[in-house]
Amino acid sequence: MKSRRFARIVAIILALLMLFSIIIIAIDALTASAYVTQAEIDRLREEKKEYERRKQEVQSKINTIDFERMTEVAKKRVLDDRIMLTGSEIENIKETIAYYEILIAEKELEVIAAIDSEDAQLEKYKRRVRDMEENGIITYLEIIFDSTDFSDLLARLDFVGDIMRADENIYNDLIIARDATEVAEVDLRETKAEMEVEKVLLEKLREELGVQIVDASALIETIEASLESASALFDEVAAEEQRIQNEINLKVEELRKQEAALAASKIRGTGQLMWPLPSGGYITSGYGVRLHPVLKVYRPHSGIDISADHGANIIASDSGTVITSEYSASYGNYIVISHGNGFTTLYAHMSSRWVGVGEAVSKGQIIGLVGSTGVSTGPHLHFEVSYNGAKDDPEKYL
């Protein structure tokens, strides 16, 4: 009786040690499978904090008397900064949600695996219980009483101890499997809840962005409603666009001098331009001249305006090299691509720019997002085409 009790105590101790080691292994496995995704979520949260900090700085500037003393164009630049930071927050949260979706898919698989493991352990435990009901203690006694000498008895006692430990392990494994299922299910629910919080925040920021766009657009509309301010803005925009075109021509000439390098890198365009918005859209203002509603004068429109939602993808119309990626008072965020064959394309009023000067881009590659920065009264893409330094109608090449 004492030896049996001793063997059972030893079995319990061994089972506890095994339980501890199994839990450690399980935790390590779960951590390893989700480490990269969780690290990305943590990185995005840190980025979001930085966007929030910078946006608070911009808002503080807007709330000062100095902001009221700024020119209208300077005010628009500050409002554009706020819009761009809110847009960056939105993209950050969208990316965070995408990672949460991956993480949830992983955790759903973990729950399935945990349930399968629990079912397997339960079936194993049931089989052992049925076996014990049929044989039970008699089997142990037969093993012991059939011993031929003392050494054989000790060996048989060890064997009985092994059986008891195995029985104990089967039961403990079932408990572990059940606990693992519960942990996985709780973890899954918590992750889904965290994602829902991000979705609520996303909708809040989208509403905030809508208000900011209306405020910025109203500022330009106010400028253009006054004859004096509209005339000043007209002259400023015309001068700015001419300066930018001169810079584009100089940069194209610099690239021509590197023609051999361009050919080697295989980034020369095809000459056949792709529609720059994958989402479609339609032309709201064509190339040529258009009548200014206040000044009552015809103003050249150097490109086409294409309707689009704020944040829609903008793609490179053809392969080439980015020669400009910056902000200007008239174009807002804009990018210029030289296609190495005399053609350049310009994409303006973007909410964000995804490529920088010197980068090689492929036809159809996303280069930024639609916005309403610069002299713009609503989200759209202003698209220009130049050939050998002269602006031309983009519709001829699309």
Higher per-residue pLDDT: 82 or 153:
82
Provide the number of structural domains found in the chain.
Answer: 2
In this prediction, residue 262 carries a pLDDT of 47
Residue count (the chain): 398
Residues 215 and 87 both lie in one domain: yes
Domain end call among 160, 193, 222: 222
Neighbours of 184 (CB within 10 A): 21
Tell me whether residue 318 is in a domain.
yes
In this prediction, residue 93 carries a pLDDT of 92
Residues 199 and 306 both lie in one domain: no
| Residue pLDDT, tens place only, 307-341 | 999 999 999 999 999 999 999 888 999 999 999 88
Report the distance separating Cα 382 and Cα 131, nearest Å. 79
pLDDT for 355 beyond 70: yes
pLDDT for 30 beyond 80: no
Q: Give SS3 for 340.
A: coil
Report the distance separating Cα 107 and Cα 98, nearest Å. 14
Residues 261 and 299 both lie in one domain: yes
| Residue pLDDT, tens place only, 5-24 | 444 444 444 444 444 444 44
pLDDT for 264 beyond 60: no
- Average pLDDT of the residues of the chain: 77
Q: Give the range of the structural domain holding residue 301, as residue numbers without chain letter.
A: 234-396
Residues 169 and 245 both lie in one domain: no
pLDDT for 34 beyond 50: no
In this prediction, residue 318 carries a pLDDT of 94
Average pLDDT over residues 283-310: 78
Domain end call among 222, 248, 266: 222
| Residue pLDDT, tens place only, 186-242 | 888 888 999 999 999 999 999 999 999 888 888 877 766 655 555 556 566 666 677
- State what percent of residues in the chain have pLDDT above 70: 67
Q: 233: exposed, middle or buried (C-beta count within 10 Å: 0-12, 13-18, 19+)?
A: buried
Tell me whether residue 228 is in a domain.
no
Tell me whether residue 227 is in a domain.
no
Report the distance separating Cα 83 and Cα 210, nearest Å. 9
pTM: 0.66
Residues 216 and 270 both lie in one domain: no
Domain end call among 194, 222, 250: 222
In this prediction, residue 259 carries a pLDDT of 56
pLDDT for 260 beyond 70: no
